[in-house]
Structure 1
Amino acid sequence: MSSLPTEEDHRLTPVFQEDRVCTGVTTVRGRVFLSYPSADRPGVQVVEALPDGRRVPYPDAAWNRADQPPSGAFVHVNGLRAGPDGRLWIVDSGSPRIGGAQVPGGARLIAVDPDDDRVERVYHLDEAVHPGSYVDDVRFNGRVAYFSDAGAAGLIVLDLDSGRARRVLDGHPSTAGGPVVADGRALRDPDGTEVRLHVDQLEVSPDGRWLYYQPASGGMSRIAARWLDDPSVPADELARRVERWCDTPSTGGTAIDAAGSIYLSDLERRRVLVLAPDGGVRTLVADPRLAWVDAMWLDADARLWMPAAQLHLTAGLNGGISTVEYPVQIYRMPVGIGPPARDHA
């Protein structure tokens, strides 16, 4: 079993304590939004965390109702983040779970204007998903958005002006996942079958030149964004442009700062690593409380938010037995540098 840290790091500040597994946190102009993937039990999927401790369904209760069609309700939210335009962007995976079937019309990117809390636009990804797809996360690069597909290995490129989505690097080895190891154990579903999560994490370099990406089992690659952004580039040419960039461990989430350093959660050793632009690696923090840090968030005040989601302890990834310890914690620590303007404000 991997060596786990035994001492708590005083730099970690517990910010929120949740009674459900929480995998996403983002901030928009001082407001805080959280997402719950229903990994432990069903319920509201996106909330605003108010200063008085209340959790208010966002953008409203209707979008969070499970008995509504996908035309006006979430299927399964797996990512949310503020964009460079100040909007809140919500990724609907389109499938109720990893390995589940796609719900027609469910895979979407939903833009919400925080000024009036209204859904401003919905981008449908149907033409770019497979039946077994699980749209995982998104990053922005000007008027282009890139998505990871953890269910069917591949990336999705969305033109934010035209709304056209297309699939790239479909089934490429760099997007395909192997065994995911957390706390020394491989993930297994309730039947005991090993779970594999395909391309999961992705980040855009501050200058917009590179897209970095990897499956949850680790092994980070990169490709120049100009090749992805050009729909005329043939699939075999795209495949040749992929570069292996860094050997990484099984990972829950990433973030990137204005200097181009990537923050990466190491599921095997309950720590967060920093990958420098030159490929150097250092440990930022190691703490026994950092159990499956998922989608991290770097805010404008140079603070890294870390939801310790404990996903590997949920029944769906732990052989059918939940050993999640509640409350689920979200931590924060100063890192001395903020996010790239290209990523978010």
Structure 2
Amino acid sequence: MKKLIAIVALTVLMSCANKKDRKIIEVAAFTGQQITGVTVSQNGRIFANFPRWRKGVTNAVVAVGEKGKAMPYPNTEWNSWKIGNPVSDSLFVAVQSVVAAKDKLYVIDTRNPEFKGVINNPRIFVFDLTTNQLAKTYVLPEDAYHKDSYINDIRIDLKNGTAYMTDSGHAGLVVLDLNSGNFKRVLDNHSSTLAEVDHLNFNGTSWNNTVHSDGIALDPKRELLYYHALTGYNLYAVPTNTLINGTEEQIQASVQLIKKTPAPDGMIFDSNNNLYLADLEKNGIVQLNVATGEMNVFAQGEKVKWADTFSIYDNELYYTNSRINEITGPINNMVFTINKIQLD
């Protein structure tokens, strides 16, 4: 009996070790350029973005080619803005996220460089990936954002012609009708979108910051939108139909507390009801089966350093290492990467 117990225990330990020791492949590396977003199109094209949190950002959006070579996307002119210069509708100002959906690339421009406040209405630029030309620009109206807003991430619901966004600077979600261009802000300063703590812990070191609704993931099968404050440990979901058609009161009433989780940034669903979430404080990524509630370590270690954004292509999970908690000064010599891991 003792021998059987020992074998079972060893099997469990080996299973955990295998998950932590998954082969992680570096796709691209950037020295002195802090990356946040990554996305892979249906044709395998890789795009990434670099937020303008400081001076010295070379490009806001790039296409990543063979051997990790990055080229400004869609061209150099779009990426030429410098802090303090005039803004326009043909310049990226402060890009936080890029997401490919079908044959389009959606680029979130927070218009909040250096976190000093929104200098111009936030925008979603949409590029046609077949022509690499601007196809549409959505401009957030004044009632959809605040001066301290930081429109963080976006998910595209092609079935319902809708986009959902998180605001990490001023807690709340933003819903966009992609056909009419109408926006509405929901769950503004709601308990589910507000930060729960004012710091995170990394090996005994405190990262002091308050970040509201940030991680976001769409479950198209169950028609639920999941979201999470970055400095917090509660995962929430709300039905997409209610987000689209419900009143604010109905939306608030439909919010579901799903589970206690690690504090995440990146979040995404695969095709098997698994939700992947970053575990920032433990340099890891966890896998949550939303049907059963079972949560396991998917990857962990020195190759996971603040997994910021996720994308899935060809059964591989892509993520960025933005290393946010490690930065205490100039980043000139720091290396930021895009990595990928084979899914189960």
TM-score range, shorter chain: 0.7 to 0.9
Report if aligned partners of 2:20, 2:297 keep a CA contact under 8 Å in 1.
Answer: no
> Aligned residue for 1:175?
193
Report if aligned partners of 1:206, 1:258 keep a CA contact under 8 Å in 2.
Answer: no
The change in CA–CA distance for 1:53 and 1:215 in structure 2 (over 3 A counts) is closer
User: How far is 1:8 from its partner?
Assistant: 7.9
Mapped to 2, the partners of 1:55 and 1:210 lie a distance apart of 35
In structure 1, the gaps of 5 or more residues are: 189-194, 316-320, 337-345
Give the aligned residue type for 1:287. G
- Decide which of 48, 51, 65 is 1:34's aligned counterpart: 48
Report if aligned partners of 1:197, 1:216 keep a CA contact under 8 Å in 2.
Answer: yes
Mapped to 2, the partners of 1:145 and 1:296 lie a distance apart of 17
Identity, % of aligned pairs? 25
Mapped to 2, the partners of 1:266 and 1:180 lie a distance apart of 14
Please identify, of 139-148 and 324-333, the stretch whose mean Cα deviation from structure 2 is larger: 324-333
Say whether residues 1:108 and 2:126 are aligned partners: no
Which structure's residues are more often strand, by fraction? 2
> Aligned residue for 1:229?
244
The change in CA–CA distance for 1:323 and 1:101 in structure 2 (over 3 A counts) is closer
> Aligned residue for 2:29?
17
> Aligned residue for 1:73?
91
Say whether residues 1:196 and 2:210 are aligned partners: yes
Mapped to 2, the partners of 1:324 and 1:180 lie a distance apart of 25
> Aligned residue for 1:191?
none
The change in CA–CA distance for 1:38 and 1:104 in structure 2 (over 3 A counts) is closer
> Aligned residue for 1:137?
153
Report if aligned partners of 2:28, 2:67 keep a CA contact under 8 Å in 1.
Answer: no
> Aligned residue for 2:11?
none
Give the aligned residue type for 1:55. A
Mapped to 2, the partners of 1:325 and 1:26 lie a distance apart of 25
> Aligned residue for 2:219?
205
Q: Provide, for residues 133-192 of structure 1, a one-character-per-residue CA deviation record: whole Å limited to 9, x for no partner.
A: 10000012230110000011000000000000110011101000132415243333xxxx
Q: Secondary structure at the match of 1:296?
A: strand
- Decide which of 79, 83, 88 is 1:64's aligned counterpart: 79
Mapped to 1, the partners of 2:267 and 2:240 lie a distance apart of 19
Q: Provide, for residues 109-145 of structure 1, a one-character-per-residue CA deviation record: whole Å limited to 9, x for no partner.
A: 1110111111100011133111111000001223011
Mapped to 1, the partners of 2:239 and 2:20 lie a distance apart of 39
> Aligned residue for 2:335?
327
Report if aligned partners of 1:180, 1:250 keep a CA contact under 8 Å in 2.
Answer: no
Aligned length: 314
Mapped to 2, the partners of 1:37 and 1:176 lie a distance apart of 22
Mapped to 2, the partners of 1:69 and 1:323 lie a distance apart of 26
> Aligned residue for 2:287?
274
Please identify, of 17-26 and 40-49, the stretch whose mean Cα deviation from structure 2 is larger: 40-49
Mapped to 1, the partners of 2:96 and 2:129 lie a distance apart of 19
Which structure's residues are more often helix, by fraction? 2
The change in CA–CA distance for 1:33 and 1:295 in structure 2 (over 3 A counts) is same
Mapped to 1, the partners of 2:88 and 2:194 lie a distance apart of 28
The change in CA–CA distance for 1:153 and 1:324 in structure 2 (over 3 A counts) is farther
Mapped to 2, the partners of 1:176 and 1:279 lie a distance apart of 23
Higher Cα Rg, which structure: 2
Q: Provide, for residues 28-70 of structure 1, a one-character-per-residue CA deviation record: whole Å limited to 9, x for no partner.
A: 2122111111346422110111215532111111211223513
The change in CA–CA distance for 1:70 and 1:285 in structure 2 (over 3 A counts) is same
Q: Provide, for residues 284-312 of structure 1, a one-character-per-residue CA deviation record: whole Å limited to 9, x for no partner.
A: 1111221111001111x100112111011
> Aligned residue for 2:14?
none
> Aligned residue for 1:154?
172
Q: Provide, for residues 238-266 of structure 1, a one-character-per-residue CA deviation record: whole Å limited to 9, x for no partner.
A: 21211111111221211110122110110
